[in-house]
Structure 1
Amino acid sequence: MGNTMCPGQDTSFWRPDDIFEVPCGNCGHEVEFFKDDATRRCKSCGTLVKNPKLNLGCAQWCEHAKDCLGYDPKEKLAQAESGDTSLTDKLIEAVKAVFGNDQKEIDHSLKVLDYARELIKKEPADPQVVMAAAILHDIGKPLAQVKHGSAAGAFHEMEGPLVAKEILQDLGLKAEVIDHICRIIANHHTAKGIDTPEFRLVWDADWLANIPRDFSELTPEKMEKLITKVFKTKTASKKAERLFL
């Protein structure tokens, strides 16, 4: 089918009510959904919220849906209907355990995860690697603070893989998957020694989350230069332009 998305899945053909908000059943915070999101994470409390209006359109029956979307819509429907705890849920619980009462760090990890989930819809990559690396990317900060007296990027890049590897092994992931995730964590500030599609998505998701916190005072001209310089995927670059310009 090439790279052209059919009208049924192209968001430029969507109606205003195809994007809507659903209250989190745990805390009441409004969670924004696209019509084809099976679930989304509440940014306030981290609870996984199911989409009560899930609508995959033509993708539910089209034989080319996986080629068009990059995922199997039948699997997405199963995800929406399943009550089982997913790998992502388990990783979020692990992140909460490591960060403890540091809600700021937990919120940042959830935001990066949310951006990664959005980007992967249009950028081919291994979802398991992307989701795990996104939620665990800063997992080395507490240990770095203890060992080095600082949680700066160089230090938590150094310590993060050690913490992440133990978590991922306990969850039974394959050795090669764990290695890939840990290499992303070890380079998510410096971008040295790795340039996989999964790394690029986690890198971009982290930048999307960091810009409002660290670069909110930039002029439009400087912001445009920053976006051109730092983002590694077209999807994230366009997202940044919509958000920050």
Structure 2
Amino acid sequence: MKCPGQDTQYWNKEAIFETPCPECGTIIEFFKDDTSRVCKGCGKRMVNPKLDFGCASYCQYAEQCLGTLPKEFLANRDDLLKDRVAVEMKRYFHTDFKRIGHATRVARYAEAIGKAELGNLAIILCAAYLHDIGIKKAEEKYNSNAPEYQEIEGPPVARQILEHLKAKADLIEEVCDIVGHHHHPRDEETLNFKVLYDADLITNLEEAQKKTPLERARLEAIINKSFLTQSGREQAAKVLLTPEV
């Protein structure tokens, strides 16, 4: 069966479009499933500016289906995986909107910190969406959501999700390692772990503030002492420290 998105019988008038070459201005005609075209004016190969093969970010048969993918797309392929991981996380937690909301906020802060620290956003964001994925099993098996139980039960579930999405082996290993000790930093940690740790800490402090607010001085002490990255400290101050009146 041909992918419906690539089957011309499902195309509309926007499936074929023209765009100027960024080098010489010559008009280049693209079909929506073209990954790239060579400009007849200057010979430059131009990537399809409307390229949106979301399925290729996780499908193991992408190259066979789409031909040789351009390097610009392949460079972002792991990063695009995060969207599928987010969907699987929400599916796993089902109606547990508290856990879904927590993971989503952690991912948002992790993305901001990760960009500032130049971390690997594919790993950081997959870990952010999956860091608490062991809570469900922990509560079922131990009647507890304590961090140590989350860290025991989280990696197998995270691995199952990532393998289902055909993620690369090295990404799976690092994400599962982060999930397996995300509350307990080691003496030497990767940048990706530090970013996730800081994002989770911001979210936990933000949630705690809504229940039992801490004084500004206490929050400042925690921010100065407990965060692992400078960008994490800056993000925490932005989120948690309200301006003094």
TM-score band (shorter)? 0.5 to 0.7
Which residue of the partner structure matches residue 84 of structure 1? 54
Which residue of the partner structure matches residue 243 of structure 1? 239
Of 110, 119, 127, which residue of structure 1 is paired with 2:121?
127
Of 100, 104, 110, which residue of structure 2 is paired with 1:110?
104
Q: Decide whether the 8 Å contact of 1:157 with 1:186 is kept in 2.
A: yes
The percent identity for this pair of structures is: 32
CA change 1:125–1:152 in 2 (3 A) is: same
Aligned residues: 171
| Offset, 1:211 | 0.9
Match of 1:113, SS? helix
CA change 1:193–1:139 in 2 (3 A) is: farther
Q: Decide whether the 8 Å contact of 1:98 with 1:142 is kept in 2.
A: no
- The CA distance in 2 between the partners of 1:174 and 1:105, in whole Å, is 26
Q: Which runs of 4+ in 1 moved over 3 A?
A: 77-81
| Offset, 1:176 | 2.1
After TM superposition, list the pairs within 5 Å mapping 1:162-181 onto structure 2: 162-181=156-175
CA change 1:172–1:192 in 2 (3 A) is: same
- The CA distance in 1 between the partners of 2:117 and 2:160, in whole Å, is 29
Q: Decide whether the 8 Å contact of 2:115 with 2:121 is kept in 1.
A: no
Alignment of 1:202 with 2:202, yes or no, is: no
Runs of 5+ consecutive residues of structure 1 not aligned to the other structure: 1-59, 62-76
| Offset, 1:222 | 0.8
Q: Which stretch of structure 1 is more off in the superposition, 111-120 or 215-224?
A: 215-224
Which residue of the partner structure matches residue 184 of structure 1? 178
Show CA shifts across 1:23-68 (max 9, x none). xxxxxxxxxxxxxxxxxxxxxxxxxxxxxxxxxxxxx99xxxxxxx
After TM superposition, list the pairs within 5 Å mapping 1:1-245 onto structure 2: 82=52, 84=54, 86-192=80-186, 195-215=189-209, 216-245=212-241
TM-score (normalizing by structure 2): 0.64
| Offset, 1:124 | 1.7
CA change 1:167–1:78 in 2 (3 A) is: farther
Q: Decide whether the 8 Å contact of 1:94 with 1:167 is kept in 2.
A: yes
TM-score (normalizing by structure 1): 0.64
- The CA distance in 2 between the partners of 1:217 and 1:79, in whole Å, is 48
CA change 1:181–1:232 in 2 (3 A) is: same
The structure where helix makes up a greater share of residues is 2
- Output the amino acid matched with 2:204: N
| Offset, 1:229 | 1.6
